[in-house]
Amino acid sequence: MNSVIFLGTPAFGATVLEGLIKAGYDIKAVVTQPDKKVGRKQKIVYSPVKELALKYALPLYQPVRLSKSDDLDALMAIQPDFLITAAFGQFLPTRFLKTAKIAAVNVHGSLLPKYRGGAPIQYAVRNGDAETGVTIMEMVKEMDAGDMYAQAKLPIGPDETSGEVFEKLAPLGRDLLLETLPKIASGEIVKKPQDPSQVVFSPTIEKSEERIPLTLTAQEAKNLIRALNPDPGAFLVVQGKRLKVWAAEVAEDNTSLPAGCLVSNQGRFAISFADSTVLNLTEVQPVGKKAMKVKDFLNGQGKKFNAGDQIVDED
């Protein structure tokens, strides 16, 4: 049975790893990102991949930076048949990739060459794409630039969040990988190079991109909200205070009010955006509060707002 070193971090990676385990692959080592401290109490949280590695008592490594870690020599000495990554979050040294006897393979959450980088699903949702998918590709030194072994497509619903798309992509990626690995091992699969003219990058979302610009249309704002749900969340600054927005719908009516004005707070919380469009916020989270339906917000903090007023601060 083929031996594997697996590298991954979030739930997407854990789904792929468990598929390999259940399919009988010999997991020689699991590499994941270091534990995180979360919240005011700085509680230590394990990655989903670490949780799974502990469950199956697999050898585990958590280097801060693999290329500079003492762990690298130990991992290189294993010389597995496959190196497999799925949302790991670090670059792998070329000399490490070369230790794979058959191939170094990545399960990437997009239809390459769109989108290369750390946030392909978020970009697909934010850009309003109708579909995404997974690509099984050969790992090379350049980020997500290797030849492709296989792809599978997945439609994106108009209201789906990045989190919901992630949940669907993970088993799709797992199944496509398990279908593809034997073909790579036997040599029957032909790699396909990426078209460099079609490359689109999707770098990790910066904190500055979490704020919803008033220059967006209502549809674009809704897409951004969907893209940043469940993490880290998009927000507006309403009268000097952050208001996270977890869900919204594009209103059927337009408005003559400038962007950032309250169009209505009667049964809905409607904000004007670019091109006279209107966005109905449906789930929000004030600072220090839990997420709530907009009707509960309007019965509390939202009472002080008046229709027609500019309530959203400019960027």
3-class DSSP state of 126? helix
d(CA 49, CA 47): 5
Q: Quick one: 95 exposed, middle or buried, by C-beta within 10 A (0-12, 13-18, 19+)?
A: exposed
DSSP one-letter string for 166-188: HHHHHHHHHHHHHHHHHHHHHT-
d(CA 218, CA 120): 22
**Residue 297 DSSP class:** H
Do the beta carbons of residue 132 and residue 158 sit within 8 Å? no
> Which helix (DSSP H) or strand (DSSP E) does residue 244 occupy?
strand 241-250
What is the CB neighbour count within 10 angstroms for residue 17? 27
Q: Is residue 113 a known part of a binding site?
A: yes
Give every CB contact of residue 243 below 8 A, 6+ residues apart in sequence.
235, 236, 237, 284, 285, 286, 287
d(CA 236, CA 240): 9
Q: Is residue 20 a known part of a binding site?
A: no
Q: Is residue 182 a known part of a binding site?
A: no
Q: Is residue 97 a known part of a binding site?
A: no
| Known binding-site residue numbers for (6S)-5,6,7,8-tetrahydrofolate | 110-113
| Known binding-site residue numbers | 110-113
